[in-house]
Chain A
Amino acid sequence: MNDFTVFRLLTLLLTAISVRCATIEGRVALPAALTTHVKNQRYEVVSKGGVVATNPPLAVVYLEGDFAPPSAPVTVQLAQKDLAFVQTLLPVRVGTRIEFPNLDDLYHNIFSLSRPKRFDLGRYRPEDRPIPSQVFDKTGLVTLRCEIHEHMRGLILVLNTPHFIVTDATGRFTLTGLPAGKYTLKAWVDSTTTRSQAVELSSDSNLRVDFP
């Protein structure tokens, strides 16, 4: 059996698996755009613009149910660049280790006092290794801040599911690779708003769910 045959068999197998998985697509109605942040530069010697752009409003859509725990520890990164978090909203599965690489040429000091995860990474440089990290082992919303740059904000949504996705700026989402069964589909919009809808997925269903 040559390499080409192996590749064709693998492709067929993956296609067969994907056919048996369900997909949900839809749209979440998002709130009005967030304001931008204005940097406090009162006592800085160097000025480089004062407005920090933020992402447009985003939502996280996730499937709530009883899923097997991950077979191996998961590590993801949430970087800081240009005095902002590269992603302002990051959903992760509970138990995930998040590394916080500093891509600026100055210090950052990321911390959170949110109940699901209280931590303070201290001051760290871009070249510091290992990259400062934390394991997020409780579900909930974690608000990230920088002790040095008070305008910086980031959100980590720790979920007890492997099936989640961040919407695009218009609220559209497509959640693929879902197992068949009865679940609750939820849309986290902000810290006080989570919408939900019961869904029943068959092995090859393609469902549309909109959250008004």
Chain B
Amino acid sequence: MKWVRAALLPLVALASAAAAETWLDQVEERLTFAAFNGHLHSRLSGEVSLEAYQFQQPAPGFLFTSGHALFNPRLALFLDGHCGENLTGFVQVRADRGFDPGNGRLRLRLDEYALRYAPWSDGRASLQIGQFATVIGNWVARHVSRDNPFVSAPLPYENMTAIYDREVPVSRQEFLAYDPTEKYEYNPIIWGPAYGTGAAVSGRFGKFDYAVEAKNTGPSARPEAWPITHTGFERPAFSARVGYRPDLRWKFGVSASDSSYLHGTTAPSLPRGTTLRDFRERLFAQDAAFAWGHLQVWAELFETWFEVPRVGTVRTIAGYIETKYKFTPQCYGALRWNRQGYSTINDGLGSRQPWRNALWRLDAASGYRFSPQIDGKLQASAQHESSHRNAFDLHYAAQLNVRF
């Protein structure tokens, strides 16, 4: 890990410089623009992140490498714009070693772009079109590094199930033979923030808020399927969330999604008399959040059904509860308990077994704000998978972020 320390030390030194705060504020001011007599405003901002991981194989979550360590530098650029009172837009571009980091080279990627029209000033409804994060659940609204107390995502957003979207199982035995060395062939129930392309209507009425979206891909779709250039709207995916906020401290929500999850190339392999539309991912989620003073708590529970060719309907339940507490103005601690379980199916040999090993993971993290724009995080995770030869897999992650 010498190279990780070598990479982190200069930035830690930078973080200790009192001048960094003022300098980064000045950079922010320089990156704000106005035109047409103040009618059009835009702001370019960004974040440089250095992430280092150390882990046991198989690599956890969305890490795709055969080694035991990974270094992932990332530059994220955000453009937030505003035209008049009713039209806003944003773009997010990232340069890194992949949305799901691996051994690849650095490359540039357009992750999000959207235009939002909000005709009413009371926020009762707005229409957004583009490629943007899903409306499901409560983690997406805090998935950018600034708002995420951890380095990684909660388990439901990054744990690969035994579902695969680019092939069709020929038998139940093949479906049950999960191969961890081919992890990228599989799908989670929801792939990170699920930046699919489409349109969303959202708004608020009193203590209730709502969001409905129609996109080209469902929540489990992989990143390369998100752009409109890759996946059209032949089989649109629909998702919705209704939120209730009894007071500022509490937030509750329920989400649902219905989509066709198989890739178009699998059509010739489907059982006779079926089409891609017959094989659905249906998801129902509940979320809750509490915040008061220095304490924040979030929880989500997902129940998901996949219709699998030649297997039938399989079900998985995944959830987590997460808490963050700020000990001092600069230091916080966070804990997250994650769990995912699977229904049993007939293995075709006369017995029943879960279609994937149940899993739990405990994440512990601590973060430190060197300045308002510079922070560092350390995370340790212990993961246990049923039927796994090791009692626990231990994973570590460190992240340093500089925002401007």
Q: A45-B211, A107-B248, A122-B292 are in contact. Are A50 and B80 (CB under 8 A)?
A: yes
Tell me if B88 and A41 are in contact (CB < 8 A).
yes
Is B109 an interface residue when CB atoms closer than 8 A count as contact?
no
What residue in chain A is nearest B325 (Cβ atoms)?
A122
A113 and B329 form a contact (CB under 8 A): yes
CA distance A92 to B140 in the complex (A): 41
Within the complex, the shortest CB–CB distance from B253 to chain A, in Å, comes to 10
Q: Pick the contact of A47 from B116, B248, B291 — CB < 8 Å?
A: B116
- State the main secondary structure of chain A at its contact with B: loop
A-B pairs under 8 A by CB, number: 120
User: Are A123 and B329 within 8 A (Cβ)?
Assistant: no
Asked if B97 is at the interface of the complex by the 8 Å CB criterion, the answer is no
What is the 8 Å Cβ interface bit string for chain B, positions 72-102, against chain A (1 contact, 0 not)? 0000001011100100101010000000000
A107: chain B residues at CB < 8 Å are 248, 291
Do A46 and B329 contact each other (CB < 8 Å), given the known contacts A41-B80, A106-B248, A125-B249?
no
> Is the CB–CB distance between A47 and B293 below 8 Å?
no
Partner of A123, one of B22, B121, B243, B291: B291
Minimum distance in angstroms from A155 CB to a CB of chain B: 11
Across-interface contacts of A50 in B (CB, < 8 A): 41, 80-82, 88
In the assembled complex, A204 has its CB within 8 A of some CB on chain B: no
Q: How far is the CA of A36 from the CA of B80 in the complex (A)?
A: 13
Which residues from A are CB-within-8-Å of B203?
Answer: 45-46
A13–B294 alpha-carbon span in the complex (Å): 51
B182 lies within 8 A of chain A by Cβ: no
A residues near B202, Cβ cutoff 8 Å:
45-46
- Tell me whether A41 and B90 are in contact in the complex, defined as CB-CB below 8 angstroms, given that A36-B32, A47-B118, A106-B248 are known contacts: yes
In the assembled complex, which residues on chain A have CB atoms less than 8 Å from the CB atom of B293?
Answer: 122-124
CB < 8 Å neighbour of A191 from B22, B38, B43, B294: B22
Is there contact, CB below 8 Å, between A38 and B329?
no
- Answer yes or no: A133 CB below 8 A from chain B CBs: no
Contact: A49 with B291, CB < 8 Å?
Answer: no
In the complex, which residue of chain A has the Cβ closest to the Cβ of B90? A42
Asked if B294 contacts A120 (CB within 8 A), the reply is: yes
Q: A40 with B32: in contact, given A45-B202, A46-B209, A125-B247 (CB under 8 Å)?
A: no
Give a binary string over A168-202; 1 marks a CB under 8 Å from any B CB, 0 the rest. Answer: 00000000000000000000000110000000000
Q: Is B18's beta carbon under 8 Å from chain A?
A: yes
Would you call A35 an interface residue if the criterion is a C-beta within 8 Å of the partner chain's C-beta atoms?
A: yes
Q: Which residues of B contact A106 (CB under 8 A)?
A: 248
A115 sits at the interface (CB 8 A): yes
Interchain CA distance A115-B85 in the complex, whole Å: 38
Bound Cα distance A172, B333 (Å): 48
B41 partner residues in chain A, CB cutoff 8 A: 36, 38, 50-51
B115 nearest CB across to chain A (Å): 11
User: Is A113 within 8 A of B209, CB to CB?
Assistant: no
Interface residues of A in 18-35 (CB under 8 A from B): 34-35
B21 sits at the interface (CB 8 A): yes
User: Do residues B330 and A113 form an inter-chain contact, with CB atoms below 8 A?
Assistant: yes
Closest CB-CB distance, A39 to chain B, in whole Å? Answer: 7
Residue in contact with B42 in the complex, picked from A38, A45, A46, A123, CB distance below 8 Å: A38
B7 at the interface (CB under 8 A from A): no
Verify B90–A40 contact, CB threshold 8 A.
yes
The CA-CA distance from A45 to B136 in the complex, in Å, is 12
Contacts of A124 in B (CB 8 A): 293
Contacting pair A40 B294 (CB below 8 A):
no
CB of A119 closer than 8 Å to a CB of B: yes
Contact across chains for A40 and B209 when beta carbons are under 8 A apart: no
Q: Which residues of chain B have C-beta atoms less than 8 A from A111's C-beta?
A: 329, 372
Contacts of A143 in B (CB 8 A): 21, 25, 372
Residue B263 lies at the interface, judged by CB distance under 8 Å to chain A: no
Q: Do residues A38 and B369 form an inter-chain contact, with CB atoms below 8 A?
A: no
Q: Which residues of A contact B323 (CB under 8 A)?
A: none
Q: Which residues from A are CB-within-8-Å of B247? A: 125
List residues of A (28-74) whose CB comes within 8 Å of B's CBs. 34-51
Distance A158 CA – B202 CA, assembled complex (angstroms):
44
Is B90's CB under 8 angstroms from A113's CB? no
Listed residue (A39, A123, A191) with the most chain B CB atoms within 10 angstroms of its CB: A123
B contact residues around A203 at 8 Å (CB)? none
B326 at the interface (CB under 8 A from A): yes
How far in angstroms is the closest Cβ of chain A from B223? Answer: 18
Nearest first, the 6 A-B pairs at minimum CB distance are A50-B82, A46-B123, A38-B43, A47-B118, A122-B293, A120-B329
**What is B's interface to A at a CB cutoff of 8 Å?**
18, 21-22, 25, 29, 32-34, 38, 41-43, 45, 78, 80-82, 85, 88, 90, 92, 112, 114, 116, 118, 121, 123, 126, 132-133, 140-142, 146, 202-204, 209-211, 243, 247-249, 291-296, 326, 328-330, 369, 371-372
Pairs A–B under 8 Å by Cβ, sample size 10: A42-B90, A43-B142, A45-B202, A46-B118, A49-B82, A113-B371, A120-B328, A120-B329, A123-B291, A123-B292
